[in-house]
């Protein structure tokens, strides 16, 4: 392969044997190089294939991330893939590196971070969360930085996105389903969303994982939340009925059996966005 463009000392763009654009990474692979120079095979660490729609944004992202975090991310992805035996999009190496870089800088500055989906991730995606915990331990060993448990949930979310994106894209139109569910809430409760609010962002994130569970047919039936379920059903009647409409929509769309626990958390999220809309 030959260099098409030097992005930085550790990243260059090229083409594979089929003429598809690729990003090639390795320590010093672009140092004192120019367009047309051959790429030294022994310096190649990672090769990423680019699609037309993500080419420029992906290259920009890669150029902004310190190489040591990309290398660290690659090692973590390799470790996770072996541990939980999943097939993930190769691009997780870059998106995870970007997150790790930001998380470490945030921790160094003493900025607190709270992942509001921590409990949900721990409960529904135990293997991915445990992989996230192992990643935090690896980061500590390599950098000396101790990241909070909330970051394990964030890493788990990256894993979930990377392992499920292909399956979801083939099965459903995720953005369209999110939009339709939001419309159910909007027109059932007659509210306007504050789309810049944290509660709205959390709700959309919850919906994405909800849809993912439906597509992958992951079922969670427990009796632990029965008391809370009945309390919420009685105190948030409008939101609960709205959640039942979403249940009917989802079961028709995906043949997924929506559990009472799913309805409980849908109701709670709907209640939050409703209260936020009333404050605007």
Read off the pTM: 0.66
Nearest to residue 155, comparing CAs of 199, 227, 213, 100? 100
pLDDT of residue 278: 78
pLDDT of residue 222: 58
- Report how far residue 81's alpha carbon sits from residue 219's, in angstroms, rounded to the nearest whole number: 23
Sorted by where each starts, the structural domains of the chain and their CATH numbers stand as 5-51 (2.30.24.10), 67-170 (1.10.1790.10), 172-279 (1.10.1790.10)
What is the rounded average pLDDT for all residues in the chain?
Answer: 85
Q: Is 68 helix (H, G, I), strand (E, B) or coil?
A: helix
pLDDT at position 249 over 80: yes
Query: What six digits make up the tokens of 100?
Result: 């790790």
- Higher pLDDT: 232 or 85? It is 232
pLDDT band at 22 (very low <50, low <70, confident <90, very high): confident
Give pLDDT tens digits for 228-243. 888 889 999 999 999 9
Query: Which letter does DSSP use for residue 196 in this model?
Result: T
| Tokens 């409980």 belong to residue | 264
- Residues 6 or more apart in contact with residue 177 via CB below 8 angstroms: 207, 211, 253
Give pLDDT tens digits for 54-83. 566 777 778 888 889 988 998 999 898 888
Query: Which letter does DSSP use for residue 41 in this model?
Result: G
Give pLDDT tens digits for 145-178. 999 999 999 999 888 877 655 555 555 677 788 8
Q: Is 116 helix (H, G, I), strand (E, B) or coil?
A: coil
Q: Do the Cβ atoms of 168 and 248 come closer than 8 Å?
A: no
């Amino acid at each position: 392969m030959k260099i098409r463009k030097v992005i930085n000392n550790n990243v260059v763009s090229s083409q594979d044997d089929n003429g598809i654009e690729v990003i090639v990474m390795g320590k010093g692979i672009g140092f004192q190089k120019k367009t047309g120079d051959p790429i030294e095979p022994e310096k190649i660490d990672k090769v990423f294939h680019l699609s037309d729609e993500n080419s420029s944004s992906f290259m920009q992202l890669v150029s902004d991330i310190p190489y040591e975090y990309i290398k660290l991310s690659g090692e973590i992805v390799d470790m996770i893939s072996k541990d939980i035996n999943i097939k993930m999009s190769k691009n997780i190496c870059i998106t995870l590196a970007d997150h790790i870089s930001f998380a470490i800088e945030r921790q160094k500055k003493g900025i607190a971070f709270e992942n509001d989906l921590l409990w949900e991730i721990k409960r529904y995606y135990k293997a991915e969360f445990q992989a996230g915990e192992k990643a935090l331990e690896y980061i500590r060993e390599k950098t000396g930085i101790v990241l909070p448990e909330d970051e394990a949930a964030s890493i788990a979310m990256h894993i979930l996105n990377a392992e499920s994106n292909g399956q979801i894209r083939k099965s459903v139109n995720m953005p369209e389903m999110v939009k339709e569910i939001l419309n159910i809430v909007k027109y059932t409760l007659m509210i306007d969303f504050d789309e810049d609010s944290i509660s709205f962002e959390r709700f959309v994130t919850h919906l994405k994982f909800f849809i993912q569970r439906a597509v992958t047919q992951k079922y969670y039936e427990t009796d632990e939340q029965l008391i809370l379920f009945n309390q919420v059903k009685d105190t948030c009647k409008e939101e609960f009925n709205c959640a039942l409409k979403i249940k009917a929509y989802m079961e028709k769309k995906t043949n997924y059996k929506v559990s009472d626990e799913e309805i409980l958390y849908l109701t709670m999220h709907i209640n939050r966005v409703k209260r936020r809309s009333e404050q605007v």
